[in-house]
Amino acid sequence: MFGYVVANVDKLDEQAKERYRSVYCGLCHALRRQHGQLGRLTLTYDMTFLILLLSALDKTEISTLKSFRCPMHPLQKREAFTNRHTQYAADMNVMLAYYQRMDDWEDEGKRSALLQAHSLGKHIEQLKERYPRQAQAITDELALLHEMEQAGEPMPDLPAAAFGRLLGAIFTPDGHALSDQLYDFGEKLGRFIYLMDAAVDLKKDIQQEKYNPLVSIPTQRHYDILQLLMADCAQTFETLPIHQDKALMENILYSGVWSRYPVRREGEQSS
């Protein structure tokens, strides 16, 4: 359900591409440093966006710049930018990955997911103590989602709202001055992500006889529903006092989040 909050890199200039890549690499370094190599494998662009957002709200510039060679891209030196928000994003990334893998194990019996969850589990108790509110929101909303999926909930708004509340909690670091606005934005973004994931996976879920909240809604309506959800999310984003990287984040919200949806639509049209 993650991996949708990404940039459309084809529409970024070179400076923005470098900025985006450097924040992403900084998150990767923080995951390895705080949670080991397996933590690094949980890396997502979704939390890269959160770092950009939190940094933009309090004018926190990148505090650490590290030049390195990445094993995945050994021929070119890269830079890793980090600041005080990077650790929070890395911790949230690992918590989400752990509970998502446990959910995969409970829902689908994936042994690989259970093994990964056990490997990540040694970090979870510390994270739950450090972030009790976020941990409670993740466990409560995933449990509710599991119940709705098992019951075949026909109203897509209900599971989307549960995932929205989950992401709203993740988007609000404890004690943040703009907690209410951040929660509102994260909650609306979470609703969009949940139904975008459902739209992208619809054909596969039908074939595999898995729950999908959009199965009873005509396919031609899916795009309009997602547009309305993103318009609501974007409206909230525009009220936030963004001091830097606004164009980069607008690229993500207005273009990048749609990058996987047209692929499914084209596949449907050709079938």
How does pLDDT run across 87-145, given as a tens digit for each residue? 999 999 998 888 877 776 666 666 666 676 667 777 788 999 999 999 999 999 999 99
Average pLDDT value over all residues in the chain:
87
Compute the distance between CA of residue 145 and CA of residue 213 in angstroms, rounded to an integer.
Answer: 11
pLDDT at 165: 98
Between strands 64-70 and 73-82, the pairing is antiparallel
How does pLDDT run across 15-29, given as a tens digit for each residue? 999 999 999 999 998
How does pLDDT run across 161-171, given as a tens digit for each residue? 999 999 999 99
Scanning 76-110, the segments in alpha helix (DSSP H) are 84-108
pTM above 0.85, yes or no: yes
**Residue 24 CA to its chain's centroid (Å):** 13
Q: Is the pLDDT of residue 177 over 60?
A: yes
Mean pLDDT, residues 29-49 taken together: 86
Domain ranges, ordered by start, for the chain? 9-270
Considering only CA atoms, which of 53, 113, 119 is closest in space to residue 86?
A: 53
pLDDT at 75: 55
Mean pLDDT, residues 150-163 taken together: 96
Phi/psi of residue 260, nearest 5 degrees: -95, -20
pLDDT at 265: 47
> Domain 9-270 sits in which CATH superfamily?
Farnesyl Diphosphate Synthase (1.10.600.10)
> CA 209, 212, 215, 220 torsion: positive or negative?
negative
Residue 271 banded pLDDT, cuts 50, 70, 90: very low
